[in-house]
Chain A
Amino acid sequence: MLGFLIRRIIQSVFVMLAVALIAFMMFRFMGDPVNSMVAETATTEERDAVRERLGLDQPLYVQYGRFVARAATGDFGLSWRNARPVSTLLAERFPATAELVLVAAGLSLVLGIPLGILTALRPHSFSTQALQLMSLVGISLPTFVTGILLILVFSVWLGWLPSFGRGTVVDVGWWSTGFLTLSGLKALILPSVMLCLFQLTLIMRLVRAEMMEVLRTDYIKFAKARGLTNRSIHFHHALKNTLIPVITIFGLQLGGLIAFAIITETVFQWPGMGALFIQAVSFGDVPVMAAYLVLVSLIFVIINTTVDLLYAVLDPRLRVEGARAAH
């Protein structure tokens, strides 16, 4: 178990170093960093001085090392677009994305699992067929079209919910939250619904598939033979075993939520990290792009490692078998 943990951590470190390498290459070879730091009228001597100060005359591996060291403390320099420190920008935007992703993830679980169970228990009912069809359409519908439709119906026509922004946010320490105001909560509804839909259909299908397979297993048949109630069978035995792969897949897909948040934030003008990243891509703002890349990779790596660990903890077979290959 410990060996497994150590191996995974080493693997994660390698992945982070690789990502940091890509980020470093972006910094080094895209655009001229000196240009963005000096006035246009700077002389050659002034530029050389800046070059030396930035360490650009050192060998590449030294520069890479210093880059990693600074990145580890969260220093990515100044944004090329508005000259503010990148870490400040990301810190400002992080709560917005985090709240959105958390609510969407929660929604997808809270709705996905029951719906999945429903479709598994009643495979031929009308509601199941309808849900199946809707989930197929859901996968084909571009997420941004869904968002636009939601805005059209609930904001333009019905006027019930706001179509953009976070509403009023309250500062709790350095975290700005929308949970504490009514307008903040209302503003959360449409974006989180849009964001959770893909995840929702995925979980629904997964729970259905897993549960149906579990229901066919021998030990469930034995339980039925022993006369346990359906309720006990379904929720006590079947569900527990269904949930293990669901939880792991859910964890792995959390990363996808963070990425899809980019689209949601664009549609709803939600002031999060994703919107910041898009602006950076559009402008060619390398520091912000690199910082976002490293931050998001870190989140993914942490999530993946945690999920793998959780899987090992939850599945008793794994503890006996020993280490399991990465997903």
Chain B
Amino acid sequence: MLRHLMMTAAAATLFATGASAETLRFATARDVYGLDPHAVTDSFTNIFTHHLYEPLVRYDADLKIEPALATSWEVIEPTRVRFTLREGVTFHGGEAFGADDVQVSLMRAVDPKSPLRGNLPGLKAVEIVDDLTVDLILEGPTPLLNNYLTNIFILDKGWLEANNAVAPIDASQGEEGYTTNNANGTGPFKLESRRPDALNVLVANDAWWDTPVHNLTRIEHTPIGSDATRVAALLSGEIDLIEPAPLQDANRIEAADGVRMLQNPGLRSIMMGINMGDSLVDGNVDGNPLKDIRVRQALYHAINMDLIRDRIMRGKSRVTGSLIAPEVNGYTEAMDARLPYDPERAKALLAEAGYPNGFAFNLNCPNDRYVNDEGICQAMAAMLAQAGLEPRLVTEPRQMHFQKVDNRQVDVFMLGWATLPMLDGFSVLSAMLATPGGEYGTFTPAGYSNPRVDELTKAVATEVDPEKRNAMMIEALMLAKDDIAWLPLHQQPLSWAARDTVEVPQAADDLVRLWYARVTK
């Protein structure tokens, strides 16, 4: 990704004026749920409207937070954060950007009727200090405030009022309003036309406050539901960039002239949860052998992830010992260390724990959710069998798999986690490692409970100082790592495909940011 970014930067300096008419034709699996940035919590809709609208702070192509409509921020009190807004920004309609727009937009997003209210938790009010300064009043210290703000876009107050659109709408309930098919933002592109489920056309915003890295004058976005048709359209030259590109067509695409696959490890970490409750769901021995850490270590040693990466994932995954990707805050290299592949050691550990002949258990996997999920599980089952165990492979469509996971009707089960949109290790702690209770522990495996991890998790939730916070997060994650509540596998690859003439960075969050894209000859 960084390489792509550097290349585009170099190209940008070469073609500094770059005034040629470059159209990028872009196809995805489905259309956006409308153009209102506050109407639905859907990451694809969100990133699409990001081309038209902007937040106070945004992610760059390497997923680092940088100033956007706000140039700086300061924590005045634990519950008051002051943002200094950027001067000289205008909306597509010509209106000036100012503090009142920020106030209206943020309050619209956290309105009780807004679907986005959960994405900016803890915002009580927005106070206007002057035309270019606002104070955000919070319920309590919110260390992840900027992470949350990257998702909340700013609309023009006057435009909303003139079009009766100040009240938020809920696109998932089918509600529509003026903002569904019309847009007026500060972003790098303007809306030219929209035909729902057919074609969205964006044109470059020449009055954008930022210096464009892209050289696009026009973006034509077409939803193409069928994987095969989308790929065919790319191959025939009708489309320049597709997302997603089905993995089974990777070889076809690579073999064809003029197009290429963009595959890089993404944020989504794939791991196996381990049932540590009192009994197995479907075992053949008394009690639950998985409660013994030696048995869990045996499972870890039995699996050869390098081979799975090479054979099943075609070298495109990133084998890891960590539950979070390197791009996620809270990651340290120490977390990446894996227990080595050692089937003999696995057998020895099993014997030591009292199971020299192994035991039976369920290996639960989805077959249509993660990249090559079924293939990975088949290979793992074979490896576990070679270590003397008797895994019973259960692969099923995602609805059924996750229903079983929810009800803890699983023994060793597959789960993928990207920590989006927070990009912070806290997401793993609260959802997957903390003891279940309240809003914590939705996916924590049955029977796992580490008091120190819980303690640290609650502290991390409210600690505002980044250094102290990270230190606590790392400590908690490393503790959990030794507990082997989860067996980490790899970060799965993203999968886009593009014509060779298209340069676009593929950030680990799988979101297409065309304001970094370039079309070359």
Contact = CB atoms under 8 A, between A and B. Distances in A.
Which of B232, B235, B403 is most buried by chain A, counting CB atoms within 10 A of its CB? Answer: B232
Contacts of B403: 40
A167 interface: yes
Interface in A274-324: 283
Interface stretch (B74-82, B161-169, B221-229, B495-503): B221-229
Interface in A6-45: 40
Interface string B214-258: 000000000001111111110110100000000000001000000
A278 to B, nearest CB: 13
A168 B232 CA distance: 8
Contact of B227 (A163, A171, A269): A269
A61 to B, nearest CB: 33
Interface residues of B, number: 16
Interface string A187-199: 1000000000000
A283 B397 CA distance: 8
Interface in A236-259: none
Contacts of B228: 164-165, 268-271
Contact of B226 (A163, A187, A269): A269
B174 to A, nearest CB: 12
A167 B236 contact: yes
B232 A164 contact: yes
Which of A162, A163, A165 is most buried by chain B, counting CB atoms within 10 A of its CB? Answer: A165
Nearest to A283: B397
Nearest to B403: A40
Contact of B232 (A40, A167, A171, A283): A167
Interface string A164-177: 11111101000000
Interface residues of A, number: 17
A213 B233 CA distance: 50
A193 to B, nearest CB: 18
A164 B231 contact: yes
Contacts of A167: 232-233, 236
A163 B251 CA distance: 13
A35 to B, nearest CB: 11
A271 B236 contact: no
A183 interface: yes
Contacts of A169: 229
Contacts, number: 39
Nearest to A166: B229
Contacts of B225: 271
Contacts of B252: 163
Nearest to B231: A165
Interface string B45-80: 000000000000000000000000000000000000
Interface in A140-172: 162-169, 171
B63 to A, nearest CB: 30
A165 B233 contact: yes
A165 B397 contact: no
A268 to B, nearest CB: 8
A283 B232 CA distance: 26
A164 B227 CA distance: 10
A162 B232 contact: yes
Contacts of B235: 162
Which of B230, B397, B403 is most buried by chain A, counting CB atoms within 10 A of its CB? Answer: B397
Nearest to A155: B252
A271 B397 contact: no
Given A165-B226, A271-B226, A183 B231 contact: no
A191 B230 CA distance: 18
Which of B227, B228, B231, B238 is most buried by chain A, counting CB atoms within 10 A of its CB? Answer: B228
A165 B230 CA distance: 8
B83 to A, nearest CB: 38
A49 B235 CA distance: 50
Contact of B236 (A183, A269, A283): A183
A38 B238 CA distance: 41
Which of B227, B236, B238, B252 is most buried by chain A, counting CB atoms within 10 A of its CB? Answer: B236
A25 B235 CA distance: 44
A165 B225 CA distance: 12
Contacts of B226: 165, 269, 271
Contacts of A187: 232
A271 B227 CA distance: 9
A183 B198 CA distance: 20
B323 to A, nearest CB: 27
A44 to B, nearest CB: 19
Contacts of A183: 232, 236, 238
A175 to B, nearest CB: 14
A157 to B, nearest CB: 12
Given A163-B252, A271-B226, A271-B229, A168 B397 contact: no
Contacts of B232: 162, 164-167, 183, 187
B40 to A, nearest CB: 15
A165 B253 CA distance: 14
A161 to B, nearest CB: 12
Nearest to A282: B397
B408 to A, nearest CB: 15
Nearest to A171: B198
Contacts of B238: 168, 183
Interface string B181-224: 00000000000000000100000000000000000000000000
Nearest to B235: A162
Given A163-B252, A183-B238, A283-B397, A168 B233 contact: yes
B103 to A, nearest CB: 34
A168 B397 CA distance: 31
Contacts of A283: 397
B232 to A, nearest CB: 3
In the A-B complex, the 8 residue pairs with the smallest Cβ-Cβ separation, listed nearest first, are A165-B232, A269-B228, A271-B226, A183-B236, A165-B228, A165-B229, A164-B228, A168-B238
22 contacts: A40-B403, A162-B232, A163-B252, A164-B228, A164-B231, A165-B226, A165-B228, A165-B229, A165-B231, A165-B232, A165-B233, A166-B229, A166-B232, A167-B233, A168-B236, A168-B238, A183-B236, A187-B232, A269-B226, A271-B228, A271-B229, A283-B397
Given A168-B238, A171-B198, A268-B228, 20 more contacts: A163-B252, A164-B231, A165-B226, A165-B228, A165-B229, A165-B232, A165-B233, A166-B229, A166-B232, A168-B233, A183-B232, A183-B236, A187-B232, A269-B226, A269-B227, A269-B228, A270-B228, A271-B225, A271-B226, A283-B397
